[in-house]
Chains A and B, each alone.
Chain A
Amino acid sequence: MIDSTKIREDFPILHQKINGNPFVYFDNASTSQKPKVVVEAITDYYYRYNANVHRGLYKISAMATEAYDNARKKVADFIGAAPQEVIFTSGTTASINLVANSWGQENLKENDIVVLSEMEHHSNIVPWHLLQKRLGFKIHFLQVDEDGSLQLDDLAEKCKGAKLVSITHVSNTLGTVNPVEEIVKTAHANGAKVLIDGAQAVPHMAIDVKKIGCDFYAFSGHKMCGPTGVGILWGREQLLESMPPFLGGGSMIDEVHLDYSTYAQLPNKFEAGTMNIAQAIGLGVAVDYLQEIGLDNITAHEQQLTEVALEKLKSLDVQIIGNAQNRVGVISFAMNRIHPHDISTILDHEGVAIRAGHHCTQLLMRKFAVPATTRASFYFYNTIEEIDQFVKGLQKVKEMFRRVS
């Protein structure tokens, strides 16, 4: 069980008033808040041992190198991987772009097939559109059912002849948890590689990439209590070995000659230039922090919040967009004739921060025929009292719009 009062002490940002009301942060799918230990670890690096890694032959460079490598080990353990398979990037978007520009550029040809889904974040659509323009392959989309789950009846058919299936683990708009193991099996049976976008999954549930069985897994640090500017690409060692580097520069080389270069071993091959050292160290501490609370406890607490919120929303006559059986605490909804922007401004006035917009999933907005939705998304430090404040805010919205809705 989660002791909310104790945990919330770790997050100074939560203890403030916004417009005279207790601050309620329900935009966790966008970015999470950071516990003191993470902020302190970053400060500590800059105050005590700020130096480049893998280079300086002096004390603090060795300290920085050790902390950076250690962070990689922590992340690797966290997702059931080996350290050399864990590449630091700037975030999920960069991770997916890396796969597209390295593996994709090398392996995709005209008339090949890449399978995506309608519930992908733009960061798992646009990199493929960009590459498609260069290489001319086809993109097939798995469709989304009315309840927000992925249509898998035609999965095998869509995977036929596909080279890559790139799918989100958890929808950032609908909250749907996709059956990634099943998708991987079908994709592999058809000879396709699988990339999973885990940005919305890793912060909220225990992940074992080997158990999922995929080939690539991408996620961001800032949604899991880590700082912005750091993310991970995990890839199977053999696969990463076979791929050309994406960015060229310092640190990623073995030898540089007038007419050619050779490249470093994994993971350095994919980490060109001075990396996000402070952020990587911060992410390592975030991983420790999450593990101390326990991922299973986090999942259970958020499930409880989600159930309570969905129940309370029923009384408000809102349309929930995304009602899949297997879901997380990301709740998108629409209110009759009330625009999400207006809901957001009024809730902000009540101290409640939620998201209004298309959530970088315009395909879903079109599918559900809404221009935008309002989205509340929870993390382990949120409480039932906060849900009450949120619901009270929505009642104010309704009252204000009484004459139009």
Chain B
Amino acid sequence: MSLRELYQEIVMDHYSDPRNFGKLEDADYHVHVNNPSCGDAIDLEVIVNSGKIEQVKFDGHGCVLSQASASMMTEIIQGKDLAEVQEIADSFRSFITGKGEVKIDLEDLEIFEGVKQFPLRVKCACLSWSALREILKKMQE
């Protein structure tokens, strides 16, 4: 895994042009997470309709990995129901930690494979995912 692969085209594309970036009016759920070791922060908001993620947006600041990962995450969960989102979140965690089963096709997110070789950066790629887990918890309450 070279640096070029870590900072490959698709990652840089999501960084320079993040999808679903910004704020939602009338969000049903809103979570703010930060990485206290570096000060990066992400806000994640969703609107749920008939048990599905109708709209999702993220806001905040961070490095290429945290922003690209957040951007791709919003794309993959859009329109999915609670159980599906849970499965995606679990699979991404299994994928990035190398522990547990990856049950679904993570599509573009698989490019984060290489992050495992930069252990200090795994946290960056997981920041938005910890926000998603918080939201899932709230949805289940």
Contact = CB atoms under 8 A, between A and B. Distances in A.
Contacts of A356: 38
B124 interface: yes
A404 B62 contact: no
A341 B121 contact: yes
A356 B63 CA distance: 11
Contacts, number: 52
Interface string A339-376: 11110011001000000111000100100000110000
Interface residues of B, number: 20
A403 B12 contact: yes
A400 interface: yes
Nearest to B6: A345
B103 interface: no
A131 B137 CA distance: 35
A35 B93 CA distance: 42
16 contacts: A339-B62, A340-B38, A341-B38, A341-B40, A341-B62, A341-B65, A341-B121, A342-B7, A342-B63, A345-B121, A346-B3, A346-B7, A357-B37, A357-B39, A371-B40, A404-B16
B138 interface: no
B15 interface: yes
B6 A371 contact: no
Contact of A357 (B6, B38, B65, B66): B38
Contacts of A346: 3, 7
Interface residues of A, number: 18
Nearest to B3: A349
A403 B124 CA distance: 21
A19 to B, nearest CB: 9
A3 to B, nearest CB: 35
Interface in B49-74: 61-66
Nearest to B38: A357
Interface in A273-300: none
Nearest to A341: B63
B39 to A, nearest CB: 4
Interface string A297-336: 0000000000000000000000000000000000000000
Nearest to A346: B3
A346 B64 CA distance: 12
A349 B121 CA distance: 14
A341 B12 contact: no
Interface string B92-133: 000000000000000000000000001001001000000000
A133 to B, nearest CB: 20
B118 A358 contact: no
B41 interface: yes
Contacts of A357: 37-39
Contacts of B37: 357
Contacts of A401: 12
A173 B6 CA distance: 29
B63 A400 contact: no
B40 A345 contact: no
Contacts of B3: 345-346, 349, 400
B77 to A, nearest CB: 24
A362 B121 contact: no
A345 B66 CA distance: 14
